[in-house]
Amino acid sequence: MSAPPNFEFVPPAIVQKLAAMNRYTLLILTKGENFDHEDTRKIIQSEHLPYTFKLREEGKLLITMPVNDDTTIRAIGIYASTDKAEVEEMIKQDPAIIKGVFTYELLSTVGLKGDTLI
C-alpha cells in the first residue's frame, strides 16, 4: 500500500473534501491477442456486454467507458470493490477475457464522493 498523499499546499477546504474520498479498483481493458479475430464483434456484443451489464446491475461495476480513439486501450471500468483479487475473479469470467479479445490491468484509485457523469 502506498503512503498517504502529502497535502501540504492544498487549501484546507479542499483537504477536507479529499479526506472523504472513496477507494475503487480501476480496470483498463486493452486489445488482446485475438482482438483482430473475425468473431471479435460478435463476442463483444453477445457475450461481453451482457456480462458487463450483469455486473452493473449487481452494483459491482459502477462505470464502464469504451475508448473510441485508435489506441490499444479499448475501455475503462470502475469497480466498487477495493479488493483486486475479487475484481480479478470477476474479470477472469468475462467471455472477452477468456477468449483473448481483451487483456487487462487493475489499478487502485480514489474518487470524490458524489462525483457523477452527466
Residue 62: which CATH number?
Answer: 3.30.70.1060
Mean pLDDT along residues 21-37: 96
State CA 58 to chain mean position distance: 15
* Residue 36: burial class (beta carbons within 10 Å; 0-12, 13-18, 19+): exposed
pLDDT (tens digit per residue) in 8-26: 899 988 888 888 889 999 9
Q: Does position 43 have pLDDT exceeding 60, yes or no?
A: yes
Would you say residue 8 lies in a domain?
A: no
What's the structural domain count of the chain?
1
Q: Does position 83 have pLDDT exceeding 60, yes or no?
A: yes
Would you say residue 26 lies in a domain?
A: yes
Would you say residue 87 lies in a domain?
A: yes
Query: In percent, how much of the chain has pLDDT > 90?
Result: 77
Give the predicted TM-score (pTM) of the model.
Answer: 0.87
Would you say residue 74 lies in a domain?
A: yes
Domain that holds residue 88: 21-110
Would you say residue 30 lies in a domain?
A: yes
